[in-house]
Amino acid sequence: MFLAFKELKHSKTKFALIIAVVVLISYLVYFLTSLANGLASSYTNAVEQWNSDQIVLTVDANDNMMMSYMKQGDFDGVDTGGSKTKLGIFPAVINNPLAENILDSRVDVYFFGIDNNGFIKPSELKDLTLTGNQVIVDEELKKEGYEVGDFFGVTGSTLQYEIIGFSSKTTYQTAPVVFMSLDTWQTYRYGSTNTPDLFSGIVVKGEIENLPGNLISYSTEDYIATLPGYTAQVLTFSVMIVFLIIITAFVLGIFIYVLTIQKTSMFGVMKAQGISNGYIGASVIVQTFLLVAFGIFIGLVLTALTGAFLVDVIPFAINIMFYSVITVAFFLFALFGGLFSVSAVLKIDPLKAIGG
């Protein structure tokens, strides 16, 4: 597209400014997407690692696993052709007994009580046996200075736990998960005297064939949606991102339109010379396309750079699928904006342009 390229080259400043706007907006959108994605993953990482199909709670718990109390009989009552495993879940605040200021070392975590042979144990650490107060923790805790062999305490208790391994991508509701045997979990949860044999839920791989009436099953996705704040957060981010993309399309569409209108007489002259609507329209579209492509590319590079710098500070996850969808949406909407200008080109009367 000779015309399109030549004009871009000739009016560099003008187009650079437009590209700058696209860069800023696309940067914002990609960055926000990565943040939203990172945040959402940190809600659900641990659950996604299970690769489960169903999650069973008590009906009484009202979607809240923390309020679900089950006995061995409940576990036995769940029939499945696949596999099932028990899960105890409870929040905790841990601290580092060796820290100068113990209060500063507090970290919110989730204690997961699991079966040593259950499929929800981090697969890379299958060989480690969880006994007594030995635990596997999410690698997020490395940032707090913990290493294998270190101990941590728990607020409200004199118990201490020993870290025997780090698992990756195991955060639940943004907090790192601490895996321990179910016995250990029950002792933490209900105290060491007369500890009841209770747990919170059952994670199932495969179909459930029979479920006792006091229990309710969720697909894993539905369960994730019930996590407090998760759905609202995902929705908020999605709406913001969609709006930003539409705004970009508008801004770009308006810019291109204004440029097109400025060039009315020139286009008129071109039409009088016999240059077809198709050619003029196509060069408007090619320009729009190039502006978006440049802008998006720079926006992506900036996002990647920022991500590389901030990955330890904020939850930041790049999802190629989301990026592709957003990129395609950018192009579609921007071209849609460009089409407005094309329709303006169609309406230009060469007669007016040559001042007849």
Q: Give the whole-angstrom CA distance, residue 336 versus residue 252.
A: 10
Least distance (Å) from other proteins to the CB of residue 267? Answer: 10
Smallest distance, Å, CB 349 to other proteins? 8
Nearer to other proteins, 59 or 346 (CB): 346
Q: Which amino acid is at 314?
A: I
Q: Which is nearer to other proteins, 82 or 350 (CB)?
A: 350
Subset of 272-291 contacting other proteins (CB under 8 A) = 272-277, 279
Residue 210 or 273 with smaller CB distance to other proteins: 273
- The single residue among 73, 156, 213, 355 that binds other proteins, judged by CB under 8 A, is 355
Question: Given candidates 246, 269, 286, 329, which one binds other proteins under the rule CB under 8 A?
Answer: 269
Number of residues that bind other proteins (CB under 8 A): 24
Taking the least distance from each CB to other proteins, the nearer of 265 and 319 is: 265
Q: Could you say whether residue 356 binds other proteins (CB under 8 A)?
A: yes
* Distance of alpha carbon 227 from alpha carbon 71, whole angstroms: 23
Q: How crowded is residue 234: how many other Cβ atoms within 10 Å of its Cβ? A: 18
Return the range that interacts with other proteins (CB under 8 A); candidates 126-134, 205-213, 214-222, 348-356. Answer: 348-356
Min dist. Cβ of residue 263 to other proteins (A): 9
Strand partners, 181: 114
All residues at 6 or more sequence positions from 247 whose CB lies less than 8 Å from its CB, including other chains:
25
Q: What is the contact mask toward other proteins in residues 6 to 45, using x (rule: CB under 8 A)?
A: xx-xxx----------------------------------
Q: How far apart are CA 275 and CA 22, in angstroms?
A: 30
- Name which of 137 and 348 has its Cβ closer to other proteins: 348
Between 240 and 275, CB nearer to other proteins = 275
Residue the block writes with tokens 């408007």: 284
Least Å from the CB of residue 329 to other proteins? 31
The residue (of 189 and 271) whose beta carbon lies closer to other proteins is 271
Please report, as ranges, the residues that interact with other proteins according to CB under 8 A: 2-3, 6-7, 9-11, 265-266, 269-277, 279, 350-351, 354-356
